[in-house]
Structure 1
Amino acid sequence: MNIPFLRQILVASSPQLAAISVGGAIGFPSVLLEQLKTNDSSIQLEMELSTWIGSSHGFAGIPSILMPTLMQWKGRKMSYFISCLFIFIGWLLIYFSENVITIIIGECFQGLGNNSLVVATFNSLSEMLDPKFRIIAMSIYINNEALGVSVASIIGRYLHWKTVSIAMSIPITLALIIGFLWPESPSWLAYKGDYVKCEEAFLWLRGSSEDSQKELKELLRAQKEMYIANRKSKVTLKKLGTQITSRDFYMPLFQSFVILCSVYGSGILVVIVYGIDMMQKATKNSSATHFGMIIIFVSIYLGSLVSIFLMKFFKNKTVYMTSGIFAATFMLGASVVTFLQSVSVVSEESLLCLFFIIFFVASTSMGISTTGYCLAAEVMPVKHRGLGGATYIIQVCILHSVILKFSPYLILYMNLWATFMLFSVIEYVCMIYVWKNVPETKGRTLQEIEDFYNHGRFVTRSGEIEEECLARE
């Protein structure tokens, strides 16, 4: 029996369970908004507060930029545990809430926990699992998040929102229990200079095979060299200014923003959270809307599964752009249909818009909703991942909140067809920019990506290039 493998499965299972609760928190606002607007609800909901229910996750997640600092200070295990605890507290507050304000506070805990957990999970998995299992574990995390969105949204059509909150708190509770059984990350222990405990944790996780012993020696050697280098280096405002104004920082930073704009600006989150109201407005058919939303949430999960296979056989940028173009086209189709309905050319009860939205969600889930986040993170060179990681989190949180906060007002004042048209235009513009400017990252080393931003193209690292890079440093 391969004991180290089973131990790695134990470590990896905790984030996978947590991901279900994270996805549940993303899909839960749609359940709340549907049920709190009914006449028999004990909690009355106004439009202003309803937009905060949909958008509070993003703004609340901004403080998670401190998570990398906490991880370096207290370790990966403690940071992961705190992230899960925030999510659990959020579900608990929502269950016991008697008013909208308490619900929003609970969602703020979830938003902070969700965004912190991504950082803590990916760092922990990358440092504690065997290299051949790391990408698989991270891909499954994204799929389980999509599973959580689908499960919470579907059972919310049949169960009370408090029952849904209890159901979605079960995976994060199990994740917390399993998290207690984790060892600390060997990489962090080595970073702190505790080499004895580092070796013990590494051998517990990875066993004592020849490959494991070799990786352990490399880990210890690299961390000892880094410890010496860190003692000699100092962070100054001049160095920070040089970093911010360097081409290989601000160019990938802007491109990361455009990629994330294509994810959030596509309208996928708006459909997840406000889909019931939108489809009811477009079809005037409550039963068709109910069934259509179930298909939409199933499509989210199935699409994320398909994306894994597509990323294996095709380039990341190809999958991303194909998905984005189809998504923008289907959203444009929904815009045209709703416009024709507004001028009485198409019947108000037509289901055409619903079909276009279903195809839109399927297209989005098979590409930009999964590869978009990966591509946006990959374009940032390793040497800028500290500051770049913080700006990445800020971009995700702000875009998440802004799109969900203002979309109901866009629908109210611009009409549904104009809102769909805006999403489509944003997506097309982003696709054109990415096609012309963003490099393909699959199969490229981190150094090759950095060279692309320094020289405007992928280059062969000849002696001339090496001398230029050394001179720049």
Structure 2
Amino acid sequence: MDSPILRQMFVASAPQLAAISIGGVVGFPNVILEQFKANDTTIQVDIHMASWIGSTHGLAGIPSIAMPTIMQWKGRKLSFLLCCFLIITGWILTYISKNVMTIIIAECFHGLASNSLIIVSFYTISEMIAPKYRMISMSFYAINQTFGMAVIGIIARYLHWKTVTIIMSVPIIVAFVTSCAWPESPSWLAYKGEYTKCEKAFKWLRGTDDISQKELKELLNAQRGSVKPKASARVLLKQIISRDFYVPCFHTFVILCAFYWSGIMVIFIYGPDILQRATSNSAAAKYGMISINIILYIGILTTTFLLKNFSNKTVLLFSGITSTVFLVSASIVTYLQSIGLLPSNSMLSLYCVVGFMLFMSLGMTTVAFVIPAELMPVKHRGLGGAVYVILLCLLHASSLKISPYLMLYVGLWGTFLVYAVNALVCMVIVWRCVPETKGKTLQEIEDYYNYGSFVRNPIENGVNELL
């Protein structure tokens, strides 16, 4: 592999393969909940157990806050290998399980590893891939994850869940083997003061052209000029109250909240029940879910072309606002059904849900994870990564745990309305506050939070330009 592009593609290939298996992990509760409800299954679940199966993935991920610390301590490569091993263990436990408790234990492994792997993969890609390829690489991670979700959602209608387990474990095994040949992240090596190794790894990945050399110089200068104090309560407090930490954390929360509390994961996991209630038609619910799985994948493929021609923030806002329109429409339709002005078997709500999933896939399902991974400065990625993971886990778990009871007590129309209001508020904050990250180096993004501009010293720079 003499070409730097090929070397970067090789490094990116392991996270892409892992993403397919992660998609299977995310969609697997939908598979087992549907198959466990069949009359011929020996494992039975009720609404309370179903809510635990659906939400365990998020709750179990909370201990993965330790993963960013491991990343800062031992590097990106070892962290990635550990995550892959845990996911493989989860698939093995799933395959041999004979009761709900074993399934939940396997879900704990999956939740812990997959929530960790998202942050490891995104940080690895953002640090090891050139800025002009970074966004497309991170987009393909989301594409492959959605592909895994779509595949598992479709094949589960025809194959036993244990067979599905074997199929979805193959990509993560290949990813584990591939990542053994990785170099270490140059950004991490510079952070640890290994400047010679950093330069060697950077040149292996990026080559020696002028743009790469400029970025390497900025990276080395930034890390050489930084002071790395010993860990203490005072240092931790100083880090937490620094602007380039708490502002990216707030922006991360808003973006992830827009994704999880829009209801996309709720529809994906509990979709058959939701569509059955909305249409009173089991056939429509079944084929509606197949359509949703296909649409998700097609939509996220289309996102790649949107991101090529438009800014990350524009794509995110377009996806969030248009999907909110369909959420409001779904709320109105199901409300009219609840008061008898529309028949209970009306297909309008199905069209609204499918439209919502389509426009969510056109940006939100990709950019909602990519932008937060780019916002946090390298020097804060230990604690910042922990915050990112906590937000992922809590928002994922809370949406899937609370939503079944929300639908039970306030109805479908009220649930859709809650999702719509949340999405609208989050999109307004994104529009007003979150910076654009497309084509920006990690150092430029850090400068934005420190100086309010992508230029390190905007006042001085303006004076120089005038002169």
Same fold (TM over 0.5): yes
Residue 313 of structure 1 and its aligned partner are, at CA, apart by 1.8
Q: Hey, what does 2:149 align to over in structure 1? A: 149
Residue 163 of structure 1 and its aligned partner are, at CA, apart by 1.1
Q: Please tell me whether the aligned partners of residues 190 and 223 of structure 1 are also in contact (alpha carbons under 8 angstroms).
A: no
Distance verdict in 2 for CA 1:276–1:257, change over 3 Å: same
- State the Cα deviation string for residues 397-416 of structure 1 (Å, max 9, x = none): 10000000111111112112
Q: What secondary structure sits across from 1:263 in the alignment?
A: helix
Q: Please tell me whether the aligned partners of residues 72 and 382 of structure 2 are also in contact (alpha carbons under 8 angstroms).
A: no
Q: Hey, what does 2:273 align to over in structure 1? A: 277
1:381 and 1:76 map into 2 onto residues whose CA distance is 16
Q: What secondary structure sits across from 1:292 in the alignment?
A: helix
Q: Please tell me whether the aligned partners of residues 87 and 110 of structure 1 are also in contact (alpha carbons under 8 angstroms).
A: yes
Residue 249 of structure 1 and its aligned partner are, at CA, apart by 3.6
Q: Please tell me whether the aligned partners of residues 199 and 216 of structure 2 are also in contact (alpha carbons under 8 angstroms).
A: no
- State the Cα deviation string for residues 107-161 of structure 1 (Å, max 9, x = none): 1111111121122223333444455443332221111011111111111111111
Read off the aligned partner of 1:11 and give its amino acid letter. V
* 1:334 partnered with 2:330: yes
Work out which of the residue numbers 442, 445, 462 in structure 1 matches 2:459.
462
* 1:305 partnered with 2:289: no
1:300 and 1:124 map into 2 onto residues whose CA distance is 25
Q: Hey, what does 1:137 align to over in structure 2? A: 137
Distance verdict in 2 for CA 1:389–1:303, change over 3 Å: same
Read off the aligned partner of 2:63 and give its amino acid letter. P
Q: Hey, what does 1:116 align to over in structure 2? A: 116
Question: What fraction of aligned residue pairs are identical, expressed as a percent?
Answer: 53
* 1:295 partnered with 2:297: no
Q: Hey, what does 2:401 align to over in structure 1? A: 405
Q: Please tell me whether the aligned partners of residues 72 and 381 of structure 2 are also in contact (alpha carbons under 8 angstroms).
A: no
Residue 323 of structure 1 and its aligned partner are, at CA, apart by 1.3
* 1:429 partnered with 2:425: yes
1:63 and 1:37 map into 2 onto residues whose CA distance is 31
Deviates more, 1:445-454 or 1:74-83: 445-454
* 1:48 partnered with 2:48: yes
Read off the aligned partner of 2:387 and give its amino acid letter. T
2:112 and 2:35 map into 1 onto residues whose CA distance is 25
Q: Please tell me whether the aligned partners of residues 83 and 117 of structure 2 are also in contact (alpha carbons under 8 angstroms).
A: yes
* 1:84 partnered with 2:84: yes
Structure 2 unaligned runs (5+)?
none
2:82 and 2:291 map into 1 onto residues whose CA distance is 35
1:162-181 matched pairs, under 5 angstroms: 162-181=162-181
1:350 and 1:255 map into 2 onto residues whose CA distance is 39
Distance verdict in 2 for CA 1:10–1:433, change over 3 Å: closer
- State the Cα deviation string for residues 239-271 of structure 1 (Å, max 9, x = none): 433333344443443332222211111100000
2:430 and 2:204 map into 1 onto residues whose CA distance is 44
Q: Please tell me whether the aligned partners of residues 187 and 219 of structure 1 are also in contact (alpha carbons under 8 angstroms).
A: no
1:372-451 matched pairs, under 5 angstroms: 372-380=368-376, 383-442=379-438
Distance verdict in 2 for CA 1:106–1:339, change over 3 Å: same
Q: Hey, what does 1:93 align to over in structure 2? A: 93
- State the Cα deviation string for residues 182-217 of structure 1 (Å, max 9, x = none): 34445555665667766776666567x566995898
- State the Cα deviation string for residues 360-398 of structure 1 (Å, max 9, x = none): 001111122222223334444555444332212111110
Q: What secondary structure sits across from 1:182 in the alignment?
A: coil
Q: Hey, what does 1:317 align to over in structure 2? A: 313
1:40 and 1:394 map into 2 onto residues whose CA distance is 38
Q: Please tell me whether the aligned partners of residues 267 and 423 of structure 1 are also in contact (alpha carbons under 8 angstroms).
A: yes
1:401 and 1:221 map into 2 onto residues whose CA distance is 40
Q: Using CA pairs below 8 Å that are at least 6 residues apart, which structure has the higher relative contact order?
A: 2
1:175-214 matched pairs, under 5 angstroms: 175-185=175-185, 188=188, 214=213
Q: Please tell me whether the aligned partners of residues 122 and 138 of structure 2 are also in contact (alpha carbons under 8 angstroms).
A: yes
1:104 and 1:3 map into 2 onto residues whose CA distance is 45
2:120 and 2:400 map into 1 onto residues whose CA distance is 25
Deviates more, 1:247-256 or 1:69-78: 247-256
Q: Please tell me whether the aligned partners of residues 135 and 438 of structure 2 are also in contact (alpha carbons under 8 angstroms).
A: no
Distance verdict in 2 for CA 1:200–1:319, change over 3 Å: closer
2:189 and 2:439 map into 1 onto residues whose CA distance is 31
Q: Please tell me whether the aligned partners of residues 123 and 373 of structure 2 are also in contact (alpha carbons under 8 angstroms).
A: no
Q: What secondary structure sits across from 2:230 in the alignment?
A: coil
Work out which of the residue numbers 358, 365, 370 in structure 1 matches 2:361.
365
Read off the aligned partner of 2:279 and give its amino acid letter. T
Q: What secondary structure sits across from 2:458 in the alignment?
A: coil
Distance verdict in 2 for CA 1:336–1:105, change over 3 Å: same
Distance verdict in 2 for CA 1:206–1:419, change over 3 Å: closer
Q: Hey, what does 2:31 align to over in structure 1? A: 31
Distance verdict in 2 for CA 1:329–1:123, change over 3 Å: closer
Q: Please tell me whether the aligned partners of residues 21 and 172 of structure 1 are also in contact (alpha carbons under 8 angstroms).
A: yes
- State the Cα deviation string for residues 51-96 of structure 1 (Å, max 9, x = none): 1111111111122222222223333222111100111111111111
Tell me the matched-pair count. Answer: 462
Distance verdict in 2 for CA 1:324–1:191, change over 3 Å: closer
1:12 and 1:455 map into 2 onto residues whose CA distance is 32
1:192 and 1:379 map into 2 onto residues whose CA distance is 21
2:446 and 2:308 map into 1 onto residues whose CA distance is 23
Deviates more, 1:172-181 or 1:189-198: 189-198
Read off the aligned partner of 2:365 and give its amino acid letter. S
Distance verdict in 2 for CA 1:92–1:405, change over 3 Å: same
Query: What's the TM-score, normalizing by structure 2?
Result: 0.88
